[in-house]
Amino acid sequence: MAETPTADAPIRTRKRAEFHPLAVSAVRRLTEDSIEVAFEVPEELHGHYDYLPGQYLALRREFEGRELRRSYSICAVPTPGEVRVAIKRDLGGEFSTWANDSLKPGDVLEVMSPQGTFTTDLGTGKHFAAIVAGSGITPVMSLAQSALAADENSRFSLVYSNRTAQDVMFLEELADLKDRYPDRFALFHVLTREHRNSDLLSGRVDEERLETFLQHLVRPADVDEWFICGPFALVQLVRDTLEEAGVERPRVHFELFTTDRPDRPAGSHGRSAPVDDGAGVHTITFTLDGRTASVTTPVHGRESILNAALRLRPDVPFACAGGVCGTCRAKLVTGTVDMDENYALEPEELERGYILTCQSHPTSDAVTVSYDA
């Protein structure tokens, strides 16, 4: 088993988030409600789109004068000159609906350089395990293929939950992976609305079924590192269950694109926050790409640092604005803040003073943050 990282272990490097226009080279239908999209990366941008298995891209497009950004996981092994993501239609999702219905080769989108820490060292002969649902398979496709190809002693176990067989993304690719590595790739399809031959693999992944999985299919004592990706409730259930089973926190990686919790703040960006004469203000100073600027925000407005910074610098990095992706991370240099939610930063990052600016509100008269740190 790998050693547990200490508090002094280095934080995984995060590449500076930048958008570039990329042309769509291919669109492939995966299921009725999902597609795989390939972007062509010109040679002069290859270095900007180098990525690690498990990372994601943010896509940006204007809809009727409004800018929308959505994050989608990279679903293929690193290949120079190309990057692929999968987009599943969300109920009411404006971006995903447009992409599934209208996106075609030749279209050009603004694509952010790869981000995310849902990754690890894959070339070490470890046993990796993943429990995912729906489009949560997307980053795991890249992780599993890369891990199995990197080391002949590596193993990968995957529990993949979907409503029906028709909803399974990358069905053929998973079958091919099983054929290629029959002794090193264990695959368990779970269907929640369709009966399988095994009762264990039929039905919702609740606490009882998950504990049975861990007793008979993928035993925690045999796994070096875990990857969890899916709805908030599933991710939280698996994390809690693994913790109760004695799995150390650094060995469990999780990915969320949304908290699925309407009672939680979503983060503010792009709204105005006028300062009334005589009203109390916070002063926010931020550094980005070596340039420092300051902006004031009304105390009563409880404006996020991200929103305030965007009024001066539209290029301030962000993707989800919901405390999930970590793209808006910055280091708190001086002052104090209140951070509503955090699903992206590791405890080691918090100890070193990093915050999510989309979720952080000043609580001191002056606050200084650095996006360059």
Domain shared by 134 and 246, yes or no: yes
Q: What integer pLDDT is reported at residue 269 of this predicted model?
A: 52
Is residue 284 over pLDDT 50? yes
Are 135 and 226 members of one domain? Answer: yes
β-pair type (108-112, 19-31): antiparallel
CATH number of the domain bearing residue 63: 2.40.30.10
Domain for residue 262, yes or no? no
Average pLDDT over residues 166-177: 98
Instruction: Give the β-pairing of 252-255 and 281-288.
Output: unpaired
The answer as to whether 332 is a domain residue is yes
Which residue segment(s) compose the domain that 83 sits in?
A: 19-112
Q: 234 and 147 share a domain? A: yes
7 within domain boundaries: no
> Are residues 131 and 242 located together in one domain of the fold?
yes
Per-residue pLDDT tens for 135-156?
Answer: 999 999 999 999 999 999 999 9
The answer as to whether 188 is a domain residue is yes
Q: Which long-range contacts (CB under 8 A, 24 or more apart) does 295-303 make?
A: 297/273, 297/362, 298/273, 298/274, 301/273, 302/361, 303/268, 303/273, 303/361
Q: What is the CATH number of the domain that holds 198?
A: 3.40.50.80
Residue 300 predicted with pLDDT over 90? no
Q: Please give the pLDDT value at position 267.
A: 45
Residues 190 and 285 in one domain: no
For residue 307, give the CATH number of its domain.
Answer: 3.10.20.30
Least confident of 7-16, 257-266, 299-308, 357-366: 7-16
How far is the CA of 147 from the CAs of 249, 297, 321, in angstroms?
21, 47, 31
Has residue 98 been placed in a domain? yes
pLDDT digits (tens, 9 = 90+) for 340-363: 999 889 888 999 999 999 999 999
Select from 49, 81, 112 the last residue of a domain. 112
- Number of structural domains in the chain: 3
What average pLDDT does this structure show over 89-100? 92
User: Residue 10, exposed/middle/buried by CB under 10 A (0-12, 13-18, 19+)?
Assistant: exposed
Asked, for residue 4, whether it belongs to a domain, the answer is: no
